[in-house]
């Protein structure tokens, strides 16, 4: 029933593995992966899948909806060529070195080479314990799995570099979680997401062997990563490594710039959650900006210091890259290339930030004065409590609609603030209009380009939570509806206005909508 996929399991073939095979959590030294099989579940059932991802892997729609598919992606069966393993990594969590972490509940199934020659690693999240599970159960609840599944695909369609999701499978087994770590554990529905990426290597994969002085392993991993994941990089020896680190820095900057463009807050930017490919990875307590607020984080675990707040993500990424640089230093001949890489991060970030300003405001280039224009707008948006997505979408239509400022009405969360802050918006719009006079684009062209970077639909926290609440009660239709809307986030989709609305009042302080913990 299922197709024959071509597997090329380079990670386990070429890199040192764990010689021990006994179950149970343990410290794994001198190895980058451990062989471990998914633990079967009671009743695997496909809830949803990404048609695009299934197709690019070589599954037909009939195959994706087959019983065999649910068995494989629920962890109850393997396809020919699959080899299952968990990888070993460490990480800096909330600024502190945490030692060995590893895939505690992610089990890779192998690397597929598809008909287009692309490499896609398949990885089950929530498939049972691994040697890296520490005291946890290796499982995932439906709520967090829905969020990871939907957001991976939504981000992809928004044009943000991200790991993908193939499937969301219900396990039929309960999973107990204390959602807010407040002594109220409860049984929830269990689920497994199959996520997909060319590589799941993280900064932490390099940090761990480095922290242990395992320079041989570290060297092997660096060479492997460059060879498999950065084939476009030419050159040799130290130059090649320098180019590679610079490329990692540049990609990370581009990724964070996309987050800032669409209003995405990762929530847990620990170095074990940073992909070497510059992909958004590990969708946990992430969130989307409703009312514009650089101070906001959805992660309740980070409530006190707000280390991973929206407006700080670019700085944190730099800090994380500095950790990576430090981990690489023992096997680099000198630290200059690492410093140059970190500088490349800063340069790429500045350029990407300017490109965002020009694109979001609809100008061909970002001039010095535009930095101030955007800064003032951000200040106003914060004070006026306006919805980021609705505001920029309305601004995109301004040039052709000529109905300002009433067209911004839907973006306000607070009526008093709307009245009070509208005159300031008007004066900002006058400055903006003057600036646009010296931009050579036609109004139509500007509108078209702005609409291609300012999405109409994002995976608002309350929308995902509604889909979760319904699925918990047995109705999974909203998961499918959201998956479908988010396939075309830049298009107006008549009849689907409700997915573009600002956060309703009931969601302001509701768990899952504005407050999320790491418990998943």
- Of 132-140, 230-238, 381-389, 430-438, the segment contacting ligand AMP by CB under 6 A is 132-140
The least distance separating ligand AMP from the CB of residue 93, rounded to whole angstroms, comes to: 7
The least distance separating ligand AMP from the CB of residue 57, rounded to whole angstroms, comes to: 24
CA atoms of 67 and 135, how far apart (whole Å): 32
**102 or 298: whose CB is closer to ligand AMP?**
102
The least distance separating Mg ion from the CB of residue 456, rounded to whole angstroms, comes to: 31
Q: Does 138 bind ligand AMP (CB under 6 A)?
A: yes
Residue nearest Mg ion by beta-carbon distance: 282
Q: Is 152 helix (H, G, I), strand (E, B) or coil?
A: helix
CA atoms of 89 and 207, how far apart (whole Å): 7
**188 or 282: whose CB is closer to Mg ion?**
282
Interface mask (CB under 6 A) for ligand AMP, residues 384-403, using x and -? --------------------
**76 or 517: whose CB is closer to Mg ion?**
517
CA distances in angstroms from 5 to 60, 67, 169, listed in the order given: 12, 17, 20
DSSP 122: E
Q: Does 302 bind ligand AMP (CB under 6 A)?
A: no
**135 or 236: whose CB is closer to ligand AMP?**
135
Structure tokens at 326: 């430090």
Q: Does 518 bind ligand AMP (CB under 6 A)?
A: yes
**56 or 300: whose CB is closer to Mg ion?**
300
- Of 205-213, 230-238, 266-274, 401-409, the segment contacting ligand AMP by CB under 6 A is 266-274
Residues 103, 229, 302, 387: which binds ligand AMP (CB under 6 A)? Answer: 103
Under 8 Å between Cβ of 46 and 168: yes
Exposed/middle/buried for residue 379 (C-beta within 10 Å: 0-12, 13-18, 19+): middle
Active site annotation includes 272: yes
Q: Which of 272, 282, 290, 302 is catalytic?
A: 272
CA atoms of 394 and 415, how far apart (whole Å): 18
Residues 104, 159, 172, 379: which binds ligand AMP (CB under 6 A)? Answer: 104
Q: What contacts 82, CB < 8 A, 6 or more positions away?
A: 7, 109, 110, 122
CA atoms of 253 and 246, how far apart (whole Å): 11
Under 8 Å between Cβ of 316 and 233: no
The least distance separating Mg ion from the CB of residue 138, rounded to whole angstroms, comes to: 13
Q: What is the CA radius of gyration of the chain?
A: 23
Intra-chain end-to-end CA distance of the chain, in Å: 33
Residue nearest ligand AMP by beta-carbon distance: 104
Distance of CA 157 to the CA centre of its chain: 12
The least distance separating ligand AMP from the CB of residue 133, rounded to whole angstroms, comes to: 4
CA atoms of 122 and 24, how far apart (whole Å): 23
The least distance separating ligand AMP from the CB of residue 264, rounded to whole angstroms, comes to: 17
Structure tokens at 274: 């940073």
136: partner contacted, choices Mg ion, ligand AMP, none (Cβ within 5-8 A by kind): ligand AMP
**102 or 337: whose CB is closer to ligand AMP?**
102
Which residue, among 424, 233, 436, has the nearest Cα to 341 in the 3D structure? 233
CA atoms of 510 and 348, how far apart (whole Å): 37
- Of 55-63, 96-104, 217-225, 258-266, the segment contacting ligand AMP by CB under 6 A is 96-104
Distance of CA 348 to the CA centre of its chain: 20
Q: How many CA atoms lie within 13 A of 338 on its CB side?
A: 16
The least distance separating Mg ion from the CB of residue 109, rounded to whole angstroms, comes to: 18
Q: How many chain residues bind ligand AMP (CB under 6 A)?
A: 17
Q: Does 30 bind ligand AMP (CB under 6 A)?
A: no
**38 or 138: whose CB is closer to ligand AMP?**
138
Exposed/middle/buried for residue 272 (C-beta within 10 Å: 0-12, 13-18, 19+): buried
- Of 102-110, 306-314, 346-354, 459-467, the segment contacting ligand AMP by CB under 6 A is 102-110
**172 or 379: whose CB is closer to ligand AMP?**
172
Which positions lie near Mg ion, rule CB under 5 A?
273, 282
Residues 33, 49, 105, 344: which binds ligand AMP (CB under 6 A)? Answer: 105
Q: Does 101 bind ligand AMP (CB under 6 A)?
A: yes
Peptide bond into 405 cis (omega under 30): yes
Angle at 463 between CA 309 and CA 128, to 5 degrees: 75
**273 or 301: whose CB is closer to Mg ion?**
273
Which residue, among 365, 363, 388, 390, has the nearest Cα to 378 in the 3D structure? 388
- Of 156-164, 267-275, 303-311, 481-489, the segment contacting ligand AMP by CB under 6 A is 267-275
Phi, psi angles (nearest 5°) of residue 45: -145, 130
Q: Does 136 bind ligand AMP (CB under 6 A)?
A: yes
Which residue, among 160, 308, 336, 163, has the nearest Cα to 245 in the 3D structure? 336
| Secondary structure tally for the chain: helices H, strands E | 16, 12
265: partner contacted, choices ligand AMP, Mg ion, none (Cβ within 5-8 A by kind): none
The least distance separating ligand AMP from the CB of residue 171, rounded to whole angstroms, comes to: 13
Active site residue ranges: 272
- Site for ligand AMP, rule CB under 6 A: 101-105, 132-133, 136-139, 268, 272-273, 282, 284, 518
């Amino acid at each position: 029933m299922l197709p024959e996929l071509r597997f090329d399991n380079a990670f386990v073939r070429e890199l040192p593995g764990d010689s021990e095979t006994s179950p149970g959590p343990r410290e794994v030294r001198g190895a980058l992966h451990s062989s471990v099989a998914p633990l079967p579940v009671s009743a695997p059932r496909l809830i949803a899948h990404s048609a695009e991802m299934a197709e690019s892997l070589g599954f037909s729609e009939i195959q994706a909806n087959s019983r065999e598919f649910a068995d494989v992606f629920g962890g109850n069966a393997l396809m020919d060529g699959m080899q299952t393993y968990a990888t070993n990594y460490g990480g800096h969590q909330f600024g502190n070195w945490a030692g060995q972490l590893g895939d505690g509940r992610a089990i890779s199934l192998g690397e597929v080479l598809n008909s287009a020659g692309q490499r896609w690693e398949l990885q089950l999240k929530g498939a049972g314990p691994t040697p890296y599970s520490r005291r946890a159960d290796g499982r995932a609840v439906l709520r967090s799995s829905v969020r990871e599944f939907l957001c991976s695909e939504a981000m992809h369609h928004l044009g943000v570099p991200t790991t993908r999701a193939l499937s969301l499978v219900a396990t039929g087994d309960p999973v107990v979680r204390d959602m807010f770590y407040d002594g109220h554990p409860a049984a929830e529905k269990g689920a497994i997401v199959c996520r997909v990426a060319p590589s799941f290597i993280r900064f932490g994969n390099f940090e761990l062997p480095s922290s242990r002085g395992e320079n041989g392993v570290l060297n092997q991993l660096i060479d492997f990563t460059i060879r498999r994941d950065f084939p476009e990089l030419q050159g040799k020896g130290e130059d090649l490594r320098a180019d590679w680190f610079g490329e990692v820095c540049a990609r990370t900057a581009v990724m964070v710039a996309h987050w800032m463009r669409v209003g995405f807050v990762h929530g847990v930017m620990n170095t074990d959650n940073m992909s070497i490919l510059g992909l958004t990875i590990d969708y946990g307590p992430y969130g989307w900006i409703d009312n514009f607020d650089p101070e906001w984080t959805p992660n309740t675990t980070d409530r006190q210091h707000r280390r991973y707040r929206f407006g700080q993500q670019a700085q944190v990424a730099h800090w994380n890259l500095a950790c990576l640089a430090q981990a690489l230093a023992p096997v680099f001949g000198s630290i200059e290339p690492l410093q140059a890489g970190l500088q490349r991060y800063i340069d790429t970030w500045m350029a990407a930030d300017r490109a965002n300003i020009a694109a979001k405001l609809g100008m061909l280039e970002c001039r010095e004065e535009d930095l101030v224009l955007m800064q003032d707008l951000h200040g106003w948006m914060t004070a006026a409590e306006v919805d980021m997505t609705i505001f920029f979408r309305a601004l995109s239509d301004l040039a052709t609609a000529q109905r300002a400022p009433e067209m911004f009405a839907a973006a306000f969360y607070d009526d008093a603030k709307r009245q009070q802050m509208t005159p300031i918006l008007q004066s900002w719009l006058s400055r903006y209009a003057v600036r646009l006079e010296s931009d050579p684009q036609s109004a139509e062209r500007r509108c078209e380009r702005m609409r291609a970077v300012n999405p109409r639909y994002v995976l608002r926290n309350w929308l995902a939570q509604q889909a979760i609440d319904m699925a918990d009660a047995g109705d999974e239709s909203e998961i499918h509806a959201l998956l479908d809307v988010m396939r075309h986030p830049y298009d107006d989709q008549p009849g689907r206005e409700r997915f573009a609305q600002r956060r309703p009042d009931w969601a302001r302080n509701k768990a899952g909508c504005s407050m999320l913990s790491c418990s998943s």
